[in-house]
Amino acid sequence: MTINFNEIVEQRSEATGIAGDRIPFEFGNKTFSFRDPLMLTDEEKDELELIDYDADIAAWYMGDEEYDEFLLTEVEIPAEDGKTIKKTGSSSFFFLVLREHMRTARASDAEGNPTMRNRSSRRAAARKRRKQH
């Protein structure tokens, strides 16, 4: 069996809606993007590994100009009391988006099905098989 990388990338693009090497995301009333971690070269990974400050990592992924615009963009977050809290972009918000992207990228295959069941799902399936025997 031969693995076709082109097909893998195409299936991933169809499943996630992500084409190319940048991931778009909405923040406030604007669309931003960041480098797709899957598409990084080994040299880019080496470069990234040397950065240890969260804001610098976020700027590296987004690009300096886009990150600067992200920092100036305001979003209103609903609070429990019905009021809203106004916040601007930050490395914390960026990493929330990055984590969500990584979670969904790992969780779906080309058909949108989980690629690997979580530990509790595997345990429940094993218990069910034992009960059937």
Rg (CA), the chain: 19
The structure's pTM equals 0.70
Q: What is the pLDDT of residues 100-125, one digit of tens each?
A: 988 887 765 444 544 444 445 555 55
Residues 60, 19: Cα–Cα separation, whole Å: 20
Nearest to 36 by CA among 50, 25, 47: 25
Residues 17, 14: Cα–Cα separation, whole Å: 5
Residue type, 84: T
pLDDT at 61: 97
Q: What is the pLDDT of residues 9-62, one digit of tens each?
A: 777 677 666 667 889 999 999 999 999 998 899 999 999 999 999 999 999 999
